[in-house]
Every structure is written in structure tokens, then in C-alpha cells.
Amino acid sequence: MEPSNYLQVSSSNGKEGEEASTWQTVGPITASNNDDCNTESNCQQEAPKRQYTKALPLHVKHLLAPHATIKSHRKSKYLYRHSHDKIDTNLLVFLHGAGDSHTIYHALGRKLSIPQCATLSLHASCMNDSNERDGRDKCGFEALPFGLGWSWFQEMDYNTGLPLNKTSSCYKSSLERAATQLDNLLDDLTSIGEEDDSSSGGWIPERIFLFGFSAGACLAMQTCAHRIQKTKRPLGGAMCIAGGARIVDNVTDNEDGIDATPVLLVVGEKDQKFQTSDAKEAASRYNNSIHNNGVKTSVAKIHIVKGKKEHVMMNTQEEVRAVMEFCGENMIRRTMAMEGYCEVHPGA
């Protein structure tokens, strides 16, 4: 029987269409006891098998695809999948690289099959609404020139074709606008109240995770830094593959005890676009961005893939293991075997 509180990773060779041959335990998931029994007698009763699926809130669907009239229109902007075990305790949001598609990340979520984790794969053309009915910035993300697709923010000068300097006002303003945009979406995905509520259709911030590649990784980490600056509750975590924040600003001492979102940076030793030195700088800036009562918080960690790993998406068992271990350390998992059982004592 599968251990109830552990994530597992496949040890198969990963060929398309092959089922996993064996599974290996890689890390624990924090257990969440959620008693859900209402009885007036001193009893123990068998818990029925329950599902805790969450539908995307209707206003979030409209926010992601404001002009969609049919299902295919919505699928071109985002793809949502329930957890394979029908218990959507956590939510993993995928952010693709520049000019890429969200569909392959939707498939990746299915292959990872993280227990009790729904997935939301976003396309950078989502949230493109020129009406701005409620006054918030809803003009989408960044359309690339010459029909090359979409990205999350501007990384190059379209007149010269050269990469923008990371300290330029154009780069910084574009990335900060994208981080604000994504953070607005995360606010809409957040359920109301302190505890998880299956009927709310949302998640508390600590159960929302980000996964990004390249430009998507940069946006994921920058959004986490943005939440620190706005003194918002941290997310559950962010997994950044071949990318990370470049413009994290220092924040004054955190007297309110706001925690930072845990971040994992996975970088290839031979990556020339986002080098190991870039990852170390990003992690250092992020860790220096918040102090709790004068104590530095170190929550950004780096996993360097040795060998010939260049600027490509996660494609080795080593990288998958690092990601799954990070999920195991930070994701919450409901202890279903304990739900539906209660014991009431006389006079209690």
C-alpha cells in the first residue's frame, strides 16, 4: 500500500506512453488532520470515501479568458486539471517560457501526478481584457513581435533585437507589471477565510504553488518577491527551472513577521542564458529581501545539475527528484483515513 504521507517519483526511463515501472519514496508531505464528523453520541463510525475537488471560481474563468464564448477559446488561454486522486488540497500553477505553449505543462502536471494537487497551466495571452471594467490592469502580458507568440514580460529591445539590460527601466517596469498581474490572479484564486473550504472554490495562499521555466521562472520568483514587498501571506512555494528573479529589491525589517515563499532554483551547469552565478545572485537577493526581527530568512535554495545541462526544460530524473522533494517538504496533504472518525466523551 502506498504510504499516506509521502510523495513518490517514478524510476522508469520516462519514454512517451510508458507506465512507471517502479516508484521510490522521496519525501514526506505535511499531514493535515481535518476532522469532519458531526455526532451527538459516544461513537466511532466508518468514514465514507470522499472527494474534495475544487472548480475554478467563475470570476477567475472570466478573468483568464474574458472574451471566450466556447470551451476551445478558454483552453487556448488556460488548462485546469483536478488532482488524479480527486482531492484538490493544493494548486500548482504552470508558467511557460517565452514563445512557448501551456499545453505541454498541462501534460507535465498529469505525468507528475502529485498527490492532492490540482494544476492550472496558463498561457501568456490570458487575462487580455481591454475593457478594464473594475479599474485593475487587465491588458494581458507580452505579445512577441513577428507572430512569435507570447511571453510574460519584455526581455529584448524589439528595434535592435538585443536583450534588455536587467537594470533598464523598460525591463524592470515590464517585469513588475507582469508580477502585479499574476499576483492579482493569485488573489482571485485565494479562498476567503483562514481554513481550507472545499465549497469556496479557492485555496489559501500557502497551498498555491508556482512552477515556471525560463521567463516563467523569472516571473514566478519575482511574484514571490512582490508579495514580500506588499507584506502579503506567502505562497506554498515556487519551483524555478532555468530562471529566477533579477530585480529583487531589499525590504526593510519585517516587524509583522511576514514569511517569504520558499523557492527552489534548478539550473544547469552549462546554462549560458541563466548561469549558476545568476541563480546564486537571485537566491542571495531574495534571501536578503526580508528579515524577521533582524534575522535573515533563507528560503531560496539552488539545485545545480552537473554535466551538460543547458538552458532546457526539466528532462532528467535528478531534476524531477529535486522538484518532488521540494513538493514533499512544502505541500499539505489531507489525512483522509482520519476524516469521518470522532470520539465524543461524556461531559466533554
Residue-wise pLDDT for 79-107, tens only, equals: 999 999 999 999 999 999 999 999 999 99
As a whole number, mean pLDDT of residues 132-149 equals 71
Nearest to 96 by CA among 227, 210, 2: 210
Task: Identify the band that residue 342 occupies on the pLDDT scale cut at 50, 70 and 90.
Answer: low
Chain position carrying cell 529583487: 248
Does position 155 have pLDDT exceeding 50, yes or no? yes
E strand or H helix that includes residue 292: strand 291-292
Q: Which of 13-27, 78-92, 175-189, 313-327 has the lowest mean pLDDT?
A: 13-27
Does position 1 have pLDDT exceeding 70, yes or no? no
Where exactly are the structural domains of the chain?
A: 58-333
Does position 115 have pLDDT exceeding 50, yes or no? yes
Query: How far is residue 125's CA from residue 153's CA, in Å, rounded to a whole number?
Result: 11
Most confident residue range from 19-23, 37-41, 48-52: 48-52
Q: How high is the pLDDT of residue 128?
A: 84
Does position 43 have pLDDT exceeding 80, yes or no? no
Cβ neighbors of 265 (< 8 A, separation 6 or more) are 217, 221, 240, 244, 279, 282, 283, 300, 301, 302, 303
Of the two residues 134 and 164, the one the predictor is more confident about is 164
Q: How high is the pLDDT of residue 35?
A: 40
Q: What is the pLDDT of residues 252-296, one digit of tens each?
A: 455 555 689 999 999 999 999 999 999 999 999 898 877 655 555
Task: Identify the band that residue 74 occupies on the pLDDT scale cut at 50, 70 and 90.
Answer: very high
Q: What is the value of pTM for the model shown?
A: 0.80
Nearest to 319 by CA among 108, 168, 169, 30: 108
Terminal CA-CA length for the chain:
36
Q: How high is the pLDDT of residue 50?
A: 59
As a whole number, mean pLDDT of residues 143-152 equals 92
What is 58-333's CATH superfamily? Answer: Alpha/Beta hydrolase fold, catalytic domain (3.40.50.1820)
